[in-house]
Chain A
Amino acid sequence: GAGVSQSPSNKVTEKGKDVELRCDPISGHTALYWYRQSLGQGLEFLIYFQGNSAPDKSGLPSDRFSAERTGGSVSTLTIQRTQQEDSAVYLCASSTRDGKVETQYFGPGTRLLVL
């Protein structure tokens, strides 16, 4: 594909509901990241997938957050029992590595609003 795509672009949900966010990375990119960005804030790392290795989940804020990556391609981020503080933009990035250098390509994000 031309770039990283994410869906939905916007999601409004009620507190306590579960949500699933989807990311389609650039074909051939083995690494995939999820970030969270609150209004006016920087990127908060959530989780990292690299090939078939175990994911780095060190950034997940609570056990309500989980993510999977199927077949080394599409990834879904699931937030269970959403809270108002989960409202943010969730960004996905896939990356390519040239030797030691990694460059990340970001999707447009999913804007999540928890009422």
Chain B
Amino acid sequence: SQKIEQNSEALNIQEGKTATLTCNYTNYSPAYLQWYRQDPGRGPVFLLLIRENEKEKRKERLKVTFDTTLKQSLFHITASQPADSATYLCALERDDYKLSFGAGTTVTVRA
């Protein structure tokens, strides 16, 4: 069956450090992968998309990598700030072209 796995542990980091989140998947052949951010009490918000033929994508302090051989995406938050504290979800396109979401990783950035 298709499965998406994200860091099961919450991530607690010091302000200014880099947070690295992992998204591993099985039995998917996605044309692209997305990352969303969810704040408490809010719906997820789209952050970044990376296509299967792209190795790396950047947006401000965010960097995403996509390794279709390893079936893994890494999501980096560089120079982290307390405002980056949230839950981050990865999402993949299923065979029926609908998105499927991972359970998310909660990041807490300490000042």
Contacts and interface: CB of A to CB of B under 8 A. Distances in A.
Nearest to A43: B101
Contact of B43 (A41, A45, A56, A91): A91
A93 interface: yes
A103 B98 contact: no
B42 A43 contact: no
Interface stretch (B44-52, B54-62, B66-74): B44-52
Contacts of B42: 108-109
Interface of B, secondary structure class, is strand
B97 A102 contact: yes
A108 B103 contact: no
B100 interface: yes
Size class of the contact patch on chain B: 20 to 34
B28 interface: no
Contacts of A102: 93, 97-99
Interface string B56-92: 0000000000000000000000000000000001010
Interface string A53-83: 0001000000000000000000000000000
Nearest to A111: B41
A104 interface: yes
Given A101-B31, A108-B42, 4 more contacts: A43-B89, A95-B99, A100-B93, A105-B46
Interface of B: 31-32, 34, 36, 41-46, 49, 51, 89, 91, 93, 96-104
21 contacts: A4-B43, A33-B98, A42-B104, A43-B44, A43-B101, A45-B100, A56-B96, A56-B98, A91-B44, A95-B99, A100-B31, A100-B93, A100-B97, A101-B32, A101-B49, A101-B51, A104-B36, A108-B41, A108-B43, A109-B41, A109-B43
Interface of A: 4, 33, 35, 41-43, 45, 48, 56, 91, 93, 95, 100-109
